[in-house]
A = this chain, B = another copy of it.
């Protein structure tokens, strides 16, 4: 690789996910972290210092012509604005999901990206998880024939604070947006009907926010394939991320990942490890691989696998599911 290929990067957000991205892009030969931007100055400084980068303002970072790409890992309400500004500045964009909680605003971002002609990748990291990606590859290779039915289990270890939930956009935009992307990716088609229902069994503090903690969603594609997603904001045994797809010739299951392969045979039972604790552990490899993919795409001029259109489609499904739940009815759609 020649020096010309080096891409300077501005990272927005120095929190948990920003820190992960900083570490991963440091390992890519083409990427160099140049600026860290965060409203919380000490966090920005600590992260910048660790990677020999500089703290900057949004304006400074986007004004620097040396910056080729931005990585947006700041809070959800900043995504759309940063996408618009980065697109206007001609930077390649990697942005965490969701594009925005508002579909119209998200569409405006997509239009701006399209007009600017910049690369924009949305961080649906699950598509890069080695287990999920291997399943997808085997599915595409025809191992189980045509997919007919997808069952997704997606549960968090415990609910976030009520204040977070209240401004999260609701469980469908906050949690299930990933699962809607899985649905589109695995079944390879768009939804023609959506039904969602839910409640807060055992979690009145979530009910108090006007959101639900447990949801059950059903989708049907134009081809007649079915998808059921079940979610909860609490699973006593940890972070649960599985799916399985039935095809005409068999079934492919993607299971959880365990920290170790120790099995204990005791007086009561035979037991193995719980799944990896939460998303930072479960998707450690996926986060590395998505960043690698983004910079590889920039270097090679190839398209990214999770576009801003994917982000919008998932958001639209989240919105429809929210409506379906609120109105208590199944919705026809043509996404």
Residues of B within 8 A of A195 (CB): 195, 197, 218, 330
Q: Which of A23-59 contact B (CB under 8 A)?
A: none
**How many copies of the polypeptide does the oligomer hold?**
4
CB-based contact B216/A218 at 8 Å: yes
A253 to B272, CA, bound (A): 10
Taking CB as reference atom, which chain B residue is nearest A259? B130
Tally A residues with Cβ within 8 Å of B: 72
Residues of B within 8 A of A155 (CB): 246
A134-B259, A253-B262 known; A149 vs B237 contact (CB < 8 Å): no
Q: Which of A182-198 contact B (CB under 8 A)?
A: 193, 195, 197-198
Return the CB mask of A242-257 against B: 1 if under 8 Å, else 0.
Answer: 0000111111111111
A335 to B197, CA, bound (A): 18
CB-based contact A250/B266 at 8 Å: yes
Say whether A127 faces chain B, with CB atoms less than 8 Å apart. Answer: no
A187 to B224, CA, bound (A): 29
A193 to B328, CA, bound (A): 9
A268 to B134, CA, bound (A): 15
CB-based contact B267/A249 at 8 Å: yes
From the candidates B226, B230, B248, name the one contacting A149 in the complex (CB within 8 A). Answer: B230
Interface residues of A (CB under 8 A from B): 130-131, 134-135, 138, 143-146, 148-149, 151, 153, 155, 193, 195, 197-202, 214-216, 218, 220, 223-228, 230, 232, 234-237, 240, 246-257, 259-274, 328-330, 332
